[in-house]
Chains A and B, each alone.
Chain A
């Protein structure tokens, strides 16, 4: 049955839309966007007061399957994505086995077929993500990966990183770098600064990230490869990128909502849900990240969704796993803290969370226009809601935003014309059969 969305405020800068429109879907395609559409025999959904956006893309998630299904599965991760308004997500290869081979990629794709949102696998740079020997990057590309990364680990050996960049260029794959000098980071568990000093926790200096960003920029310049910096977290990192971009290098970068919003001060009280890699940095870093985004130095906001079990995050801070479960809170956090406060606009947000990631991954995002695949996110700015661990769709309940009251919430997620998430009446339901 055709679906007719009425009275939505539609925003899509790539198709010059910013106003009240009706939108008609037939099967998986958008067939009309007009000021008013009246058609019989459709499912009519009234979106008065709500904002309709092109589907969001998160280019950095951890779906944990295969190997760590107790933390998340492709199915549950995609449910969390749908609840967060994402219609496409890219998943990192640090599974078990590592996604360094075609078979694992095929497995992920097969599981993803049964999931509610689109999944793009990312292959590893090196075999087993061990940083020693190149993975079969060509075969990975043939299997459908859109980028390569050893995320979770840096490629410490500069020679290997150089060869990875050279080799990946032949397949037009961006190299996503987890920039962390392991020796400098040591066994640190939080940002090294005043709060690590008073809390007595071992620090990870900002320099551990910055020296690797500098190295990778130099290697990218040498090889001409497309380098994408994952989860940028420091002020000096933003400056290094600013310089690199001035020289015209093909370098992109992403930042997470938690690095835009939280600082190392949040670690006070030793809540393991604040333990993340890279760590929550200083307020100076946080402000530089916001400015870097506004200036266009940082291209993308990605959640680095890293779900963990209750036990992984229980007890002593040093022993807890790194990571924040981020898919379900991202859009509300960004709306509440940035759009609602006029720090950036919906148009900018769509660059950060839809068109930017699509371009980096080399995938098509037609946005909202006649003939495009109907991947749509509907957001209600008037809903005020409390983040509740119990109600999260992700298996990972590890959020430092638990019990925060946020303004604005995703109410509908449409993937290939199917409503996969419906929160119009507050039931927050995932729908498999449309």
Chain B
């Protein structure tokens, strides 16, 4: 079954059933990792374009690897190598990709809505790999996948997202995805990093970390960008660590699944003992990211190839 849509722009527009389908497909994809030859011919002859207008090592290499494992042709364009530097608009870039026959365009952009704009102007499927503070659906899906894999379920779990919620696309996509899959979602952080009216999304808002931690099953720790301090959103790294840093003392329960989308500021938002501890699944998130992205590429391009099988 292909996805019921041309693009994947965010998890707010996608149904719980579709999320489940993506996670199930990801499971089949992950099985390929165990083989000696980790490559299948499913997307042979398809062209995937990685359009990265914002620097990203992990997401880009994860998409690269996912596309290659499905035998697709992969083309990468970054801001520094594209005509954007020469003043070309996103619309013109889209038109260029169109005539080059792209089947899927994976876009990372610093401006919210850029993926939707591209999707509205191009016949190819658009996969949002992060647009500003708006959405990062593949990250959220790999988080959901990891939670389901480790906890056996998502429904009913209490999940805490901690850190810079205001500027985080990961937080937003996680919130939509987790709520659709039946989890209870809490967000915590300094009030300056919690966006206005966040509760209307259906989450509980905390500025007191210890209260937020009560009874949780999963904690997803967001990276703190040091430039936020320069903008006066919190007074110092030391103070942030004291009030919102996750350390062994605060996470003294091995059943709490510890997640982080990376890259981490060790010793700031997360103590190394926690990052490398038994409850941490941070490295597995990276592995699962490849499987989830393979699943999505397959499901999006597969919309025109319903007869093709995964294996």
Query: Interface with B: A64-72, A188-196, A402-410, which one?
Result: A188-196
* Stretch from B126-134, B250-258, B269-277 that touches the partner: B126-134
Cβ-based interface call for A269 (8 A): yes
Per-position binary interface string of chain B over residues 98-113, scored 1 when its CB falls under 8 Å from any chain A CB and 0 otherwise: 0000000000010111
Across the interface, do A199 and B112 meet the contact criterion of CB distance under 8 Å? yes
A316 and B117 contacting across the interface, CB-CB below 8 Å? yes
B112 touches A317 (CB 8 A): yes
Q: Which of B89, B112, B198 is close to A318, meaning CB atoms less than 8 Å apart?
A: B112
Asked whether B90 is an interface residue with its Cβ less than 8 Å from the other chain, the reply is: yes
> Is the C-beta of B200 less than 8 angstroms from some C-beta in chain A?
yes
Q: Which bracket fits the contact residues of A?
A: 20 to 34
Tell me the complex Cα distance, A270–B115, Å.
10
Which one of B12, B111, B135, B196 contacts A316 once the chains associate, using CB atoms below 8 Å? Answer: B111
Q: Does chain B have a CB within 8 A of A319?
A: yes
A198:B109 contact, CB within 8 angstroms: no
CB-defined contacts of A194 to chain B, threshold 8 Å? 196-197, 200-201
Whether the Cβ atoms of A201 and B113 lie closer than 8 Å is yes
Residue A197 at the chain B interface, CB threshold 8 Å: yes
Residues of A within 8 A of B200 (CB): 194, 197
Query: Counting chain A CB atoms within 10 Å of each CB, which of B112, B172, B200 scores highest?
Result: B112
**Which A residues are in CB contact (< 8 Å) with B197?**
193-194, 197
A199→B113 contact, CB < 8 A: yes
Contact A200 B133 (CB under 8 A): yes
B196 touches which of A197, A199, A200, A201 (Cβ 8 Å): A197
Assembled-state Cα–Cα distance A322/B196 (Å)? 22
Query: Which residues of B lie under 8 Å from residue A318 when comparing CB positions?
Result: 111-112, 132
| Least Cβ–Cβ distance between A275 and chain B, in angstroms | 11
Binary contact readout B127-147 vs A (1 if CB under 8 angstroms, 0 otherwise) = 000011111000000000000
A200 touches B117 (CB 8 A): no
**1/0 contact string of B244-267 vs chain A (CB within 8 Å):** 000000000000000000000000
Set of chain A residues within 8 Å of B172, measured between Cβ atoms: 197-198, 200
| Complex interface residues of chain A between 292 and 327 (CB less than 8 A to chain B) | 311, 314-319
Residues B91 and A198 in contact, CB atoms below 8 Å apart: no
Residues of A bordering B, CB below 8 Å = 192-194, 196-203, 205, 269-270, 311, 314-319
Q: Which B residues are CB-close (under 8 A) to A202?
A: 133
Given A197-B195, A197-B196, CB of A270 within 8 Å of CB of B89:
no
State A226–B109 Cα separation when bound (angstroms): 47
Q: Are B112 and A200 in contact (CB under 8 A)?
A: yes
A386 to B116, CA, bound (A): 26
Which residues of the partner chain A approach B116 to less than 8 Å between Cβ atoms?
A: 269-270
Number of residues from B at the complex interface, CB < 8 A:
24
**Inter-chain contacts of B90 with A (CB < 8 A):** 315-316
* Selected A-B contacts with CB under 8 Å, 25 pairs: A193-B196, A194-B197, A194-B201, A197-B198, A197-B201, A198-B12, A198-B201, A199-B134, A200-B112, A201-B112, A201-B132, A201-B133, A203-B195, A270-B112, A270-B113, A311-B89, A314-B91, A315-B90, A315-B117, A316-B90, A316-B109, A316-B113, A316-B117, A317-B112, A318-B111
Complex formed: what's the CA distance from A197 to B197 in Å? 7
The 8 Å CB contact of B131, one of A200, A205, A314, is A200
B30: which A residues are within 8 A, CB to CB?
Answer: none
Q: Does B179 contact A (CB under 8 A)?
A: no
Q: How far is the CA of A159 from the CA of B109 in the complex (A)?
A: 42
Interface flag for B169 (CB, 8 Å): yes
Let me know if B301 is at the binding interface, CB within 8 A: no
B89 touches A315 (CB 8 A): yes
B49 within 8 A of A: no
In the bound complex, what is the Cα–Cα distance between A220 and B87 (angstroms)? Answer: 46
Number of A-B contacts (CB under 8 A): 64
Nearest-neighbour CB distance to chain A for B118, whole angstroms, equals: 10
The smallest beta-carbon distance between B101 and chain A, in angstroms, is: 23
B43: chain A residues at CB < 8 Å are none
User: What separation, in Å, do the CA atoms of A192 and B132 have in the docked complex?
Assistant: 16
Closest 7 pairs (CB-CB, A-B): A200-B134, A270-B113, A200-B133, A200-B112, A194-B197, A197-B195, A316-B111
Q: Specify which chain A residues have a CB less than 8 angstroms from the CB of B112 in the assembled complex.
A: 199-201, 270, 317-318
- Chain A residue, CB-CB nearest to B94: A315
* B residues 161-207 touching A (CB-CB < 8 Å): 169, 172, 195-198, 200-201
- Within 8 Å CB of A319, what residues of B? 111
B114→A196 contact, CB < 8 A? no
From A197, A269, A311, name the one whose CB has the most chain B CB atoms within 10 angstroms. Answer: A197
Complex alpha-carbon distance, A316 and B93, angstroms = 13
B114 contacts which of A193, A198, A203, A316 (Cβ < 8 Å)?
Answer: A316
Q: Considering the chains assembled together, what is the distance between the CA atoms of A269 and B112 in angstroms? A: 10
List residues of chain A with CB within 8 A of the CB of B196.
192-194, 196-197, 203, 205
CB-CB under 8 A from A315, the residues of chain B are 89-91, 117
For B89, B109, B117, which residue has the most chain A Cβ atoms within 10 angstroms?
B117
Q: How far is the CB of A312 from chain B (nearest CB, A)?
A: 12
Q: Is the CB of B198 within 8 A of A200?
A: no
Cα of A79 to Cα of B289 in the assembled complex, Å: 57
User: Shortest CB–CB separation between residue A122 and chain B, in angstroms?
Assistant: 34
Min Cβ gap A89→B in Å is 32
Q: Known: A269-B116, A270-B117, A316-B117. Is A200-B91 also a contact (CB below 8 A)?
A: no
Known: A194-B196, A318-B132, A319-B111. 10 other contacts (CB 8 A): A197-B172, A200-B133, A200-B172, A205-B196, A270-B113, A270-B116, A270-B117, A311-B89, A316-B109, A316-B113
The residue on B at minimum CB distance from A192 is: B196
Q: How far is the CA of A211 from the CA of B200 in the complex (A)?
A: 26
B residues less than 8 Å from A199 (CB atoms):
112-113, 134
Cβ distance B97 to chain A, nearest Cβ, rounded Å: 15
Q: Could you say which residues of chain A place their CB within 8 Å of the CB of B117?
A: 270, 315-316
In this complex, what residue of A is CB-closest to B112?
A: A200
CB distance from A268 to the nearest CB of B (A): 10
Which residue of A is nearest B53, CB measured?
A: A316
Alpha-carbon distance A311/B91, docked complex (angstroms): 11
| B191-250 at interface with A (beta carbon < 8 Å) | 195-198, 200-201
With both beta carbons as reference points, the residue of chain A lying nearest to B194 in the complex is identified as A197
